[in-house]
Amino acid sequence: MKKSHPALFLGLLLLGTPAANATPAPYLTPGPMSVDKDKNIVYTALTTARAVTMTPLNNPAATERIPLPQDPNDILLSPDGTTLYAACGGARGTVEIISLPSKKTQSTIPVGHTPQSLALGPGGKHLYVANRFSNTLSVIDLAQGKVTLTLPAIREPRTLLATQDGKTLAIANFLPNQPSNGLEIAAKITLVDIPTHTIRTHVTLPNGSQSVLGLIEAPDGKSLYTVHIVSQYGLPLTQLDRGWANTNALSIIDHAKGTVLATVLLDDMDNGAANPSALTLGPDNKLYIALAGTHELLTLDIPSLNKGLNDYFVGKRNDRHNTYANELTTSLSFTAPFKKRIPLQGRGPIALQTHGKDILVSNRYSTFLEKHTPDAPTPPPGTLHTTTIPLGTEPTPDAIRRGEIAFNDATLCFQRWHSCATCHPDGRADGLNWDQMNDGLGNPKNTKSLLFSHITPPCMITGIRASAELAVRKGITHILMTVQPENIALDMDAYLKNMRPLESPYLAPLDARQRKKLQEKGRELFDRAECSICHTGENHTDLQLHDVGTGTDNDKERPFDTPTLREIWRTAPYLYDGHAKTIRDVLTTHNPENKHGNTKDLTKEELEILELYINTL
């Protein structure tokens, strides 16, 4: 056997080794898709790779990438296929207008914080943009190439849909926006009148509705479908069986009347359909729903569903307060005859598109799209239901990435009812109160963001867990209610430790001079009000428990953990049981004894400055 030359071996070794200062390749994280049906091309947003792929479906090997200046959150193809719109970035969000087929950016239009969803108005004159953290809707006049109107949304607008009749724009608001100690807490769908660009109404989903994603128009054009979680937050978290804690739902909305026609559950009796994330109408008169938590595609036969609802509501008045309608939100058997669940090869399906006879699936944690053909013969049990369309390569997942995947994986949960992300979307909070067993029953507490949890112990509102490491492991045991290998918890630790705060949307309207003035005056008021006694240091917490007079009933005079104020703007409502809707409420209405900061002598203007300052931390 010939010996290798040492110099040649070293040269080959160096060629195969990345430079020490080379930027590591990004994860792809496929997201929204848009299909050119005439040219048989699918465009896919690579949401952590600053690019869009352009894949000829008859030749996937010819996939190309269109580079972008920021990560794309959504993409939309113009009806004539000549322009691709990409909603990109975070605090300095933009819409990139890309000319096709040259694949060159034609113009860049600044919009709000984290533009999340796009929709075109009638005739393609206006492009609508949902800005998730600005809580706004940008209306872009495409002829002028700029935003000409900004409308308020409720909380974290995530999905837009313009109805085919050109009359209504629907906005799915991701989270509830009420104090969480009330009797009814739920996210809403906002309906905008397109001809006048005015808000027509807000449609309240059933109690406990949160994490609203996906909007699509029903075949009859009279109603809309959306998917979301229904949290049973009013029950003590002692079990998960039969949807005790969280269920997963489809709501049907009459957009002309602005009412919820019905909400039905997607789960089975002993098998949750966790984290529904998108939906599309198939060519076979079925509704297809992506289940991000269980890595499945769920189908609902629309004619059978409609007949079942008609039969159910015969002689029964249907409104959202009606007993019979509410029964459907707890029925795990109603949809059983109409649905089927299809296992996917990828992990975390996040977007769907119908193309001809096929359903295309984009999986957040995979490097390929999947294609499911509804009229194809049903494969034998245990065999694949889909084919894959490669999008590229990415690094082997490290601990942080594995932790993110596990955090969003409901298959780690008993009967797959929920994932960690169900109550902590993006590692933050769902805006609800939960009655956990860790500090006794009958005293529900508001969900906390997990940002900086590993460096601001103790954990939980009552400080019942000495560290986030312990809280993660207890969460697996008592919230997912399973036993997992230690490496799962270690990976989740790595993911949570790596989370970084987003820039506050309250800073965006301020120039450098205004920011400096706010920092100086806000800090002076923060110190004068004695907020800095407990909210001290880089993370604005002394890591101690204090009784600041906010406890009521069984929690009266109880000390609570001093939370970090970093990214506090994102995690309303506030206080231990969420009874303060805003930071202003914390400083005023819910501080009558002046124990939670010395705020009673502050003027209205000073309170405004202090509130703004806290919301920019």
SS3 for 96-129, per residue?
A: EEEECCCCEEEEEEECCCCEEEEEECHHHCEEEE
Q: Tell me: pLDDT of 4 over 70.
A: no
3-state helix, strand, coil split of the chain in percent (to 5) is: 20, 30, 45
Instruction: With cut-offs at 50, 70 and 90, classify the pLDDT of residue 325.
Output: low
Q: How far is CA 442 from the centre of its chain?
A: 29
pLDDT for 319 equals 53
Average of pLDDT values for 311-316? 77
pLDDT for 56 equals 96
Q: Tell me: pLDDT of 514 over 80.
A: yes
Say how far apart CA 579 and CA 123 lie, in whole Å.
45
DSSP conformation class of 36: E
Average model confidence (pLDDT) across the chain: 93
Q: Tell me: pLDDT of 552 over 90.
A: no
Token pair, residue 153, equals 């949304």
User: Under a CB-based contact definition with an 8 Å cutoff, are residues 226 and 160 in contact?
Assistant: no
On whether the 26-152 domain is CATH 2.30.30.240, my answer is: no
Average of pLDDT values for 483-505? 98
User: Under a CB-based contact definition with an 8 Å cutoff, are residues 192 and 171 in contact?
Assistant: yes
Strand partners, 342: 297
DSSP conformation class of 147: E
pLDDT tens per residue, range 350-383: 999 999 999 999 999 999 999 999 988 777 777 7
DSSP conformation class of 505: T
DSSP conformation class of 338: G
Full 3-state SS string of 197-263 = CEEEEEEECCCCEEEEEEEEECCCCCEEEEEEEEECCCCECCCCHHHCCEEEEEEEEECCCCEEEEE
Average of pLDDT values for 234-250? 96
Report how far apart, in Å, the C-alpha atoms of 393 and of each of 2, 26, 112 are: 35, 9, 31
Cis peptide bond N-terminal to 573, omega within 30: yes
Say how far apart CA 22 and CA 18 lie, in whole Å.
6
Q: Tell me: pLDDT of 23 over 80.
A: no
Q: How far is CA 549 from the centre of its chain?
A: 33
Say how far apart CA 478 and CA 455 lie, in whole Å.
23
**Phi-psi group of 243: left, alpha or beta (phi > 0 → left; psi -120 to 50 → alpha; rest → beta):** left
On whether the 400-498 domain is CATH 1.10.150.20, my answer is: no
SS3 535: coil
Q: Tell me: pLDDT of 6 over 50.
A: no
Q: Which residues contact 241 (CB under 8 A, 6 or more apart)?
A: 270, 415
Task: Report the share of the chain in percent with pLDDT over 90.
Answer: 87
pLDDT for 101 equals 86
Of 377, 484, 362, nearest in space to 420 by CA: 484
Neighbouring C-beta atoms of residue 105, cutoff 10 Å = 17
Of 318, 131, 314, nearest in space to 206 by CA: 318
Say how far apart CA 144 and CA 130 lie, in whole Å.
19
> Given this chain, do its domains 26-152 and 400-498 carry the same CATH topology?
no
Strand partners, 362: 351, 369
Of 423, 416, 570, nearest in space to 481 by CA: 416
pLDDT tens per residue, range 168-193: 999 999 999 999 998 899 999 999 99
Block residue for tokens 């308020």? 152
Of 104, 110, 235, 130, nearest in space to 190 by CA: 130
Say how far apart CA 471 and CA 271 lie, in whole Å.
26
Say how far apart CA 223 and CA 211 lie, in whole Å.
20
Say how far apart CA 46 and CA 75 lie, in whole Å.
10
User: Under a CB-based contact definition with an 8 Å cutoff, are residues 91 and 102 in contact?
Assistant: no
Amino acid type, 5: H
**Backbone phi, then psi, for 235, in 5-degree steps?**
-100, 145
Say how far apart CA 605 and CA 593 lie, in whole Å.
21
Say how far apart CA 84 and CA 105 lie, in whole Å.
9
Instruction: With cut-offs at 50, 70 and 90, classify the pLDDT of residue 10.
Output: very low
Say how far apart CA 613 and CA 526 lie, in whole Å.
8
Of 515, 527, 530, 532, nearest in space to 612 by CA: 515
pLDDT tens per residue, range 277-291: 999 999 999 999 999
Instruction: With cut-offs at 50, 70 and 90, classify the pLDDT of residue 441.
Output: confident
Name the residue with higher pLDDT: 327 or 516.
516
pLDDT for 540 equals 97
512-614, CATH topology level = Cytochrome Bc1 Complex; Chain D, domain 2 (1.10.760)
User: Under a CB-based contact definition with an 8 Å cutoff, are residues 413 and 481 in contact?
Assistant: yes
Cα atoms in the 13 Å half-sphere on the side-chain side of 97: 17
pLDDT tens per residue, range 454-471: 999 999 999 999 999 999
User: Under a CB-based contact definition with an 8 Å cutoff, are residues 225 and 305 in contact?
Assistant: no
Token pair, residue 51, equals 């690019």
The model's pTM is 0.93
Token pair, residue 307, equals 């007949």
Token pair, residue 232, equals 């049973």
Instruction: Put the strands of the sheet holding 168-173 in their side by side order.
Output: 157-162, 168-173, 188-193, 198-204
pLDDT for 315 equals 63
pLDDT for 3 equals 37
Token pair, residue 400, equals 């942080």
Report how far apart, in Å, the C-alpha atoms of 225 and of each of 121, 196, 288, 342, 549 are: 19, 24, 11, 20, 44
Domain coordinates in residue numbering, the chain: 26-152, 400-498, 512-614
pLDDT tens per residue, range 98-152: 999 899 999 999 999 999 999 999 999 999 999 999 999 999 999 999 999 999 9
Average of pLDDT values for 596-610? 95
